[in-house]
Amino acid sequence: MVLTLSQVQSLFGVQASAGAAGNAATAIPALKRATAEGAEAKGIAQEKKDPVTLTALAQFRVALDKAGSIEAALQDPRILKVIMPALGLPDQVGNPGLVRRALLSDPADAKGLAAQLGSTWSAAAATLGVHATGLDGLRDAAMVERMSDAFLKYQYRTGLDDQQAGLSDALYFLEAAKTADDVFDVLGDPVLRRVVTGALGLPDQIAVQSVEAQGRAVTARLKVESLQDERAVRKLAERYLIVAANSASAEAATDPMAMLTALSVRA
């Protein structure tokens, strides 16, 4: 027997309008709360008490102490679990070979791997600086603290997505949109790309097109220089949140068994 969404909600006491990922009506209020003065500091302070986060940071430090070389360190999953989200590349945790080669390349070298992979990788390699400092640079107390703080911020923000779909992306976008000098900087950053294409209503299928064609699709709908305007950036973030909420609601509405499975796992 296939259960309807309403039957699942009735069975488990879940309200139709109060899904774990919020809805379009709660999107903008959620962003206002998250950007209110002191909200992030309070959230990060709470994150510092989370046992999962504390365990990840403890394992990170142990792995750093035991690493025999910078090459080994950049392939240790306990280290990558912290530094890749901290560097804005959480989806690369499972690619240690690429991570090692890219972060050990010189970001100032246009022919280096980090530079060829795009602005996000170049910024990550420059921030870490291990192409010049090696393992000692990664173990430096200031760098460990910087990576740990950035990881805490990432953990806090991604946790907000459980309340409102896309909220972590929106917060990152508000912070980083101004760093994009051209459309290729937007397309080269996975979060900026996701927010802009989502807000503009561009389909995921444009990813199969050439970068130039994707750039034209974006610039036909958006002046990249508008990303220097805080009000314009805020409006784009709000539009993206509404799109993300509608998408999450549609997925939940068409897949009641997924909700049943998720609730069963929680129980």
**Tens digits of residue pLDDT in 144-201:** 999 999 999 999 999 999 999 999 999 999 999 999 999 999 998 999 999 999 999 9
At residue 110, does pLDDT exceed 60?
yes
Evaluate whether 34 touches 153 at the Cβ level (below 8 Å). Answer: no
What angle is formed at CA 257 by the lines to CA 252 and CA 263, rounded to 5 degrees? 85
* Domain extents in the chain: 47-160, 165-251
Q: What is the dihedral sign for C-alpha 169, 137, 106, 71?
A: negative
Question: What sign does the dihedral 225-228-157-47 (CA atoms) show?
Answer: positive
Q: What is the mean pLDDT of residues 39-54?
A: 97
Whether residue 79 is predicted with pLDDT greater than 90 in this model: the reply is yes
Contact (Cβ atoms closer than 8 angstroms) between residue 138 and residue 128? yes
Lookup: tokens for 62: 């142990």
Of 74, 175, 76, give the one whose Cα is nearest residue 128: 74
The span from the CA of 263 to the CA of 14, in Å, is: 10
| Mean pLDDT over the full length of the chain | 89
Task: Give me the torsion for CA of 79, 80, 86, 88, rounded to 10°.
Answer: 170
Distances (CA, A) of 122 to 111, 133, 191, 210, 267: 11, 16, 16, 21, 43
Distance from the Cα of residue 205 to its chain's centroid = 21
d(Cα 35, Cα 64) in Å, to the nearest integer?
A: 34
Residue 161, by phi and psi: left (phi above 0), alpha (psi -120 to 50) or beta? Answer: alpha
Instruction: Answer positive or negative: Cα dihedral of 227, 230, 231, 234.
Output: positive
* Distance, CA of 153 to CA of 147 (rounded, Å): 10
Confidence at 73, pLDDT banded by 50, 70, 90 = very high
Tell me what the mean pLDDT of segment 81-107 comes to: 96
Nearest partner of 186 among 41, 249, 89, 178, judged by Cα: 178
3-state helix, strand, coil in the chain (%, to 5): 75, 0, 25
- 265, with CB counted inside 10 A (0-12, 13-18, 19+), is exposed
Q: Are the beta carbons of 81 and 155 closer than 8 angstroms? A: no
pLDDT of res. 22: 79
CB of 243 within 8 A of CB of 167?
no
Query: Please, where are the H alpha helices in 95-164?
Result: 96-103, 113-117, 119-128, 130-139, 141-160
Closest CA to 171 of 27, 25, 24: 27
Least confidently predicted of 15-24, 35-44, 248-257: 15-24
pLDDT score of 250: 83
The CATH fold assigned to 47-160 is AGR_C_984p-like (1.10.3700)
pLDDT at 256 over 60: no
